Amino acid sequence: MPVSQSLRTQLGMLVIATSLIQLANGFFGTFISLRVAIENFDAPGLVLSSYFAGFTLGALRCGRIIERIGHIRAYAAFAALVAAATCVMPLLVGSLAWVALRAIVGFGCAGIFVTTESWLNAKALPSERGRVFSIYMVGTFLALALGQLLIARADLKTAAPFNVIVTLFAVALIMVTTARAEPPRVNTAAPMPYGVLARAAPIAVVGSALSGLVSGAFYALVPAWMQDQGIAATTIALFMLAAVLGGFAFQIPIGRFSDRFDRRKVLAVLGLGFAIIAFVMVHLPRSLPTILPSAVLLGGFMSSLYPVSVAHAHDRMPADRVVAVSGRLILVSGFGSVLGPLIGARLTPLFEIDGLFYFMAVAALLLVLVAGLGGFVTPPPKQREVPFEILTPQAGPLAHDPLESSDEPSLVNDPA
């Protein structure tokens, strides 16, 4: 078999395996929000935000693990870690136990995505790298969307959903570990001092933080509130599916738009659009014909904030800092994703879903203020080549190589 064909088979197997994991992850996120509401935990916000805390820690630390044991063994270790923690969850039902276990799941998922994307970046031919990552991101979005549909068929009060999640992770693990693949060479990346990015691209830092804040609150708390209101699981699944598909649909047009205009003004427009939709949803009749189109728009605006922020940061920083910049933005977005469910969980008992949507709208308006002022006060930076990348709609997306130290722009984020 020709080398190129063998390599394509290996990368295809990796993309399919990680799409299965995203299928499980998309289902898991909505399911755990609903299950926490059923269990009536005393600290639901902490349980829901612990995943993002673990994910952020994993994005920061798993690069060293990959360097030490290699990609294939790291993938197996991270997938097994998630499977083990998921198996234990129905056996230890409680706030403290699930905080720890969800953090472990988040850590393992971050490790899987860093391993996958650095592997793809290192092994894909330069002439095919863009195509490979496009296929990877399409598979990611479709898997996340299909994961929402599983909610309609799941018996949320039993251990069956946990078993489905473990099965999907196990199948992905088998696919990767049995494939005939030569692991990529790993290198260490030079660190970047804290504060450098905040001084050079403050709007990108604010945008990443607020993106994590609103997306973390939305994905963690909206499904639980809908279930508390007696809304059918099928309707919840369709609503979340619409939000994910909206994020997918917005990526390419928003990317092209941000490549032509000042990204700070684009961020201000996106934030304003999100705030308007969030405010309107409070006052709309809560029926499918009105809510689903609004969910598409809300998910589209929300999922575009982070990639535009990342692209703006790279405009402001030298090319040899691309890896470290991406890692810092993952960290900032992760902190926002941790705070979002914690703050939102405090508001929903007082103001129901209205309080959560108003909270997200205010956060978006803060971005409008910061980005809008910046766009009109200072001239736009010169935009660099390969300026915009499609990134996943979930908090802490990883699209730059955590292990690459090249001076050339990369397609995979640094976890450091």
Does 396 map to a domain?
no
Cβ(102)–Cβ(47) under 8 Å? yes
pLDDT bracket for residue 390 (50, 70, 90): low
Residue 229 φ then ψ, to 5°? -85, 5
pLDDT digits (tens, 9 = 90+) for 176-189: 888 766 666 655 55
Over residues 160-187, the mean pLDDT reads 81
Does 28 map to a domain?
yes
Per-residue pLDDT, 399: 38
Does 146 map to a domain?
yes
- pLDDT for 73 beyond 50: yes
Does 74 map to a domain?
yes
Comparison of pLDDT for 360 and 402, the residue scoring more: 360
Residue type (1 letter), 24: A
Per-residue pLDDT, 117: 75
What's the domain range around 60? 3-377
Name the DSSP class of 179. Answer: S
Does 352 map to a domain?
yes
Instruction: Read off the CATH number of the domain in which 372 is found.
Output: 1.20.1250.20
Q: What is the largest CA-CA distance in the chain?
A: 64
Domain total in the chain? 1
Mention every residue, 6+ apart, whose C-beta is less than 8 A from residue 155.
161
Does 393 map to a domain?
no
Cβ(264)–Cβ(371) under 8 Å? yes
Residue 236 φ then ψ, to 5°? -60, -45
Does 69 map to a domain?
yes
Per-residue pLDDT, 286: 74
pTM of the model: 0.76
Does 392 map to a domain?
no
- pLDDT for 321 beyond 80: no
